[in-house]
Chain A
């Protein structure tokens, strides 16, 4: 079998590693138009941005796998796919494959701000983006980050410096809407950046070096747009697969076309833990969807059944989330003291997610409990902590 994988991010590399380790019989063509070797994205906004380490420390694939004889790296962007004929086209050539895996990931959402000079506008999505930011940040005194996401706060923590003012502004009415109000408050309390919600940006005024907003001028000699991500579905859409929201797959990562699969942040599939379809942007989704796809390609299919999890470093705080919840789910704070904080997200008595700040044991215990079945809020409250509930369920 000749496999064509489009993309070389987390999901693509997990798939490649699983196929090599599983002794996949066939050829693997990996299409990646980025000049860099496959690299890890999470450190780009965290440790790597602060450190002096070079790009080699971000390497995503072990050398024996990256250089495995079954893999051919094609440093070209794919411009179209023609699954009926098993064809992949780039600007330079056409390639024949038996099966296509779309691992095209997401890209940073762009905002158009009138008058904003391109040289002070940044996003942090790729290694090149992060290197460009690293180069310019030393000369910046007023950094404004646009967006209310984890990325915005991670960047603020990583770029914190006595000679620099950092502001985070968001269009929405609250920061970090993907977590509970309690968890968001704790994270907000730890940031040294100044923050403002409900911000409408009109334009950029080059003379005063500031953004003109409904809250007055916001000084900015460097602007980072961290306003979310957009799935790269254009190639799929042109052949009738997927929409702007993602590429629909079944629980085996197979799209409606028998010769096409989709994995990672572009795949839109049923999330058994959540009980409905959702596109999830996280490392666990990338790894678990890739592993599911690999098993199918190796002839040992097993449906996707993973419990999603997530983490984010915010300065001294480590947030870890087990499970996945709807933004409207209720929140009940289980533990809250000076150091750690554990918030339960639930729908009635059914627990959907556990958010833990500096609470590694609670997070890991929640993952174990979710793997073993449903957790009820009443049982958790009675036990007093997720860890205690796990202990009592084991005895």
Chain B
């Protein structure tokens, strides 16, 4: 099973297994990665599942939609590699992708 390398707000590195087709949110939430609140449950409506992806994986990802980009602009300290975990769908090619959970979601 492919996996993600997640760094949580306490700097703990957690390996998270995922099924291709699910989102970063579904995989990390199930695993109980702390710091991802996802108040709206993955509806791109609250910007509390902010993660920062390792930029070397940029080429493998579809960029954010306008809705996601607008929501992200209200996250705490967004970066050019910030994403909402609920909007990034994973496939086999993302095995090993590294991400950091935002320090704060508010």
Hey, which bits of chain A sit against chain B, CB under 8 A? 21, 40, 42-43, 46, 57, 59-60, 62-65, 283-284, 287, 309, 311, 313, 318, 320, 358, 360-361, 364-365, 368
Complex: A283 Cα to B45 Cα, angstroms? 11
- A62–B41 touching, CB < 8 Å: no
Known pairs A42-B43, A43-B41; A361 contacts B74 (CB<8 A): yes
A306 to chain B, nearest CB (A): 11
Of A59, A60, A287, chain B has the most CB atoms within 10 Å of the CB of: A287
Point out the residue from B22, B34, B45, B66 that lies within 8 Å of A320, measured CB to CB: B45
Complex: A109 Cα to B35 Cα, angstroms? 37
Q: Given contacts A42-B41, A284-B39, A364-B73, list 8 more A-B pairs with CB under 8 A.
A: A43-B41, A43-B42, A57-B22, A287-B39, A311-B40, A360-B67, A361-B70, A368-B74
- B41–A364 touching, CB < 8 Å: no
Across-interface contacts of B42 in A (CB, < 8 A)? 40, 43
Complex: A320 Cα to B46 Cα, angstroms? 10
- A318–B30 touching, CB < 8 Å: no
Across-interface contacts of A283 in B (CB, < 8 A)? 39-41
Across-interface contacts of B40 in A (CB, < 8 A)? 42, 283, 311
Looking at chain B's contact residues, the main secondary structure is: loop
Hey, which bits of chain B sit against chain A, CB under 8 A? 22, 26, 29-34, 39-47, 66-67, 70-71, 73-74
Looking at chain A's contact residues, the main secondary structure is: helix
- B74–A318 touching, CB < 8 Å: no
- B30–A62 touching, CB < 8 Å: yes
Complex: A311 Cα to B34 Cα, angstroms? 25
Of B22, B44, B70, chain A has the most CB atoms within 10 Å of the CB of: B70
- B67–A318 touching, CB < 8 Å: yes
CB-nearest residue of chain B relative to A362? B70
Complex: A368 Cα to B29 Cα, angstroms? 26
- B31–A40 touching, CB < 8 Å: no
Complex: A283 Cα to B31 Cα, angstroms? 22
CB-nearest residue of chain B relative to A320? B45
CB-nearest residue of chain A relative to B41? A40
- B44–A364 touching, CB < 8 Å: no
- A364–B47 touching, CB < 8 Å: yes
> Nearest 4 A-B pairs (CB), nearest first?
A62-B32, A64-B32, A360-B70, A364-B74
Complex: A43 Cα to B22 Cα, angstroms? 15
Across-interface contacts of A309 in B (CB, < 8 A)? 46
Across-interface contacts of B43 in A (CB, < 8 A)? 42, 46, 311, 313
Of B44, B45, B67, chain A has the most CB atoms within 10 Å of the CB of: B45
Complex: A361 Cα to B70 Cα, angstroms? 5
Complex: A60 Cα to B32 Cα, angstroms? 11
Complex: A376 Cα to B22 Cα, angstroms? 43
CB-nearest residue of chain A relative to B26? A57
Point out the residue from A63, A358, A368 that lies within 8 Å of B30, measured CB to CB: A63
Across-interface contacts of A311 in B (CB, < 8 A)? 40, 43, 45
CB-nearest residue of chain A relative to B23? A57
B12 to chain A, nearest CB (A): 13
Complex: A43 Cα to B32 Cα, angstroms? 20
B66 to chain A, nearest CB (A): 8
A311 to chain B, nearest CB (A): 4
22 pairs, CB–CB < 8 Å, chain A vs chain B = A42-B40, A43-B41, A57-B22, A57-B26, A59-B29, A62-B29, A62-B30, A63-B30, A283-B40, A284-B39, A311-B45, A313-B43, A318-B45, A320-B45, A358-B67, A360-B44, A360-B67, A360-B70, A361-B73, A364-B47, A364-B71, A364-B74
